[in-house]
Amino acid sequence: MSPTITRRQLLAGIAGTVGLAGTAGAAAWAGGAFDPSLVAPNGDLVARTEAARRRAGAATVTASLNPRPITLDLGGPTVRTWGYADSAPGPLIRAKAGDLLRVDVENSLPATTSVHWHGIALRNDMDGVPGLTQQPIPVGGRYRYEFTAPDPGTYFYHPHSGVQLDRALYGVLVVDDPEEAGAYDAEWIVVLDDWVDGSGRTPEDVLASLQSMGGHGDMTGTDHGDMGGMSGMPMQDMEMMTSPLIGGAGDVDYPHYLVNGRIPASPVTLSGKPGQRVRIRIVNAASDTAFRLALGGHRLTVTHSDGFPVAPTPTDALLLGMGERVDVSVDLTDGVFPLVAAAEGKPGQGLALVRTAAGEPPAATVRPTELDRQVLITTTLRAAESVALASRRPERVHRLVLGGTMMPYQWTINGATFDQAEPLLVERGERVRLTFENSTAMFHPMHVHGHTFAVTGGGARKDTVIVAPKQIVAVDLNADNPGQWMTHCHNIYHAETGMMVNLAYQA
Ligand code: C2O
Ligand code: CU
């Protein structure tokens, strides 16, 4: 444990935020002015689109965030890191659909930052992408985010600056549906994370080690852990670190996996009563880890994916990629039960306790049998009828071939890293199809800003979708939110080293 941030780590942190901010600016904000052939984030069209979203009598929900260096107790190990509060996750922000959110950010980090509202179809200039939709918030600077949140659901917020997400800089944003009956007795929020900061390496150190050493260079699909974490591990164990369900296992071997900020040795307790029906909002805020989640002794019914309702689907366990959210409904029985989030394809797990009665808690290493029974993958979910995207032939089709190499450590879309990528052009009013073709041996949770697409063929409405190795996943969206929208892998190390492109509305 390193209780203090060394000067070297501090400098790495500052340097680590420059790449993403600088390169995006080069493309769209060329010569200090926005490319006139594209819709400007701060232009009239974006303002008019927002005005059309505003509802008479909508409430204004205010919040403030102060990203800063903190000391965080993970439930035993105490780490120095960066957070939005003295806890992970950061403050819960809660609004009703149609409300105006006003969030004041004061940057007390030793690095520039930004706040992105993951999954929200908001006004483009509030999307929080430095160099594309705003200037980075300088050290000591302030920024006010103000936007209408149009759609109910489970969302989260995090920086869009370097690999800052891999610290404690994340929080949940719940947008309630004033129309919804709420067929449950209680609600829990469960946030999953992979943790490295303060254990001797910062996320910027991890990125630097990936970039300087690479993995093994053949992209065979077996795990290519970063050398810091993998050193001393025999090759056969490395080969075993893959997920047969989604392929690969991330690039980083984390010392800890957290549920609501806690390691399994001192888990949080979620309390209820036997017979109650609970809605659990689950967010995967990890940077490099998909989780397989199950609740011992219970079945889960998935009701929402990435905020939007799905045809209710029962399962024993489910897989959640980075950036994905699900809401599940559970009928509680009598006892103490492990809610386990196993790091998919990696050793280790996160744990929370579900308690409806007195009794001994299970061991930190407990592995409920449900984890290895029926495992739901969110691409198989069906959209609820109320949110199904009307079928329509796409006027615009973009093919996105996902590629990468471990030496050098670099991830691409259509062969280009972000700084070299041509924007993917769309026009307002079009039905757009994005076809993700994964040519690598790793899974990639692909995320589109500002829109909720539909997985083609009646699949769920989502904003983040896992594309397994050699798999093709097509998604359709209505181009109804003009602006410049990042489209990227939500593995933060893949995004930061190039797997990102701008979905650009033409003026
Ligand atoms: Cu949650 Cu561009 O990301
Ligand atoms: Cu990726």
Secondary structure of 420-458 in HEC code, one letter for each residue? HCCCEEECCCCEEEEEEEECCCCCEEEEECCCCEEECCC
DSSP labels, 224-293:
---HHHHTT--HHHHHH---TTTSS--S---SEEEETTB-TTS--EEE--TT-EEEEEEEE--SS--EEE
What distance in Å separates the CA atoms of residue 138 and residue 21, rounded to the nearest whole number? 12
**Shortest-distance atom of ligand 1 to CA 158:** 1
pTM of the model: 0.91
Which ligand is located closest to the Cα atom of residue 159?
1
pLDDT tens figures, 13-70: 323 333 333 344 345 655 557 889 999 999 999 999 999 999 888 999 999 999 999 9
Pick the CATH number of 387-505 from 3.30.43.10, 3.90.1150.10, 3.40.50.300, 2.60.40.420: 2.60.40.420
Residues 6+ apart with CB under 8 A from 355: 269, 270, 271, 272, 335, 336, 337, 361
pLDDT at 30: 54
Handedness of CA 403, 406, 411, 412 (dihedral sign): negative
Q: Given its phi and psi angles, is residue 386 left (phi above 0), alpha (psi -120 to 50 degrees) or beta?
A: alpha
Q: Which residues line ligand 1 (CB under 6 A)?
A: 116, 118, 158, 160, 323, 447, 449, 486, 488, 490
Q: How far is the CA of 350 from the centre of ligand 1 (A)?
A: 23
Please say if the pLDDT value at position 192 is more than 80. Answer: yes
The residue-averaged pLDDT of 388-394 equals 96
Ligand 2 (single-atom ion) residues, CB below 5 Å:
444, 489, 491, 494
pLDDT tens figures, 302-344: 999 999 999 999 999 999 999 999 999 999 999 999 999 999 9
For the chain, give the mean pLDDT: 89
Please say if the pLDDT value at position 399 is more than 60. Answer: yes
Q: How far is the CA of 491 from the centre of ligand 2 (A)?
A: 5
Which ligand is located closest to the Cα atom of residue 119?
1
Q: Just give the CATH number of 7-178.
A: 2.60.40.420
Give the residue from 254, 213, 227, 222 showing the smallest Cα distance to 442: 222
Please say if the pLDDT value at position 221 is more than 70. Answer: no
Least confident of 145-149, 214-218, 314-318, 328-332: 214-218
Which ligand is located closest to the Cα atom of residue 447?
1
Q: How far is the CA of 130 from the centre of ligand 1 (A)?
A: 12
Please say if the pLDDT value at position 214 is more than 80. Answer: no
Q: Starting from the edge strand earliest in sequence, which strands make up the sheet with 60-65, in order?
A: 60-65, 100-106, 142-148
pLDDT at 233: 38
Bigger pLDDT: 12 or 450?
450
SS3 379: helix
**Shortest-distance atom of ligand 1 to CA 119:** 1
Q: How far is the CA of 401 from the centre of ligand 2 (A)?
A: 12
Confidence bin at 241 (pLDDT 50/70/90) = low
pLDDT at 445: 98
Please say if the pLDDT value at position 80 is more than 60. Answer: yes
Q: How far is the CA of 249 from the centre of ligand 2 (A)?
A: 11
Closest residue by CA, ligand 1 atom 1: 118
Handedness of CA 390, 392, 397, 403 (dihedral sign): positive
pLDDT at 389: 97
pLDDT at 24: 43
pLDDT at 179: 87
CA 163 to chain centre: 12
The structural domains of the chain, with segments of one domain joined by +, span 7-178, 387-505
Angle separating helix axes 18-28 and 7-16, nearest 10 degrees: 20
Give the residue from 178, 118, 122 showing the smallest Cα distance to 150: 122
pLDDT at 499: 98
Confidence bin at 213 (pLDDT 50/70/90) = confident
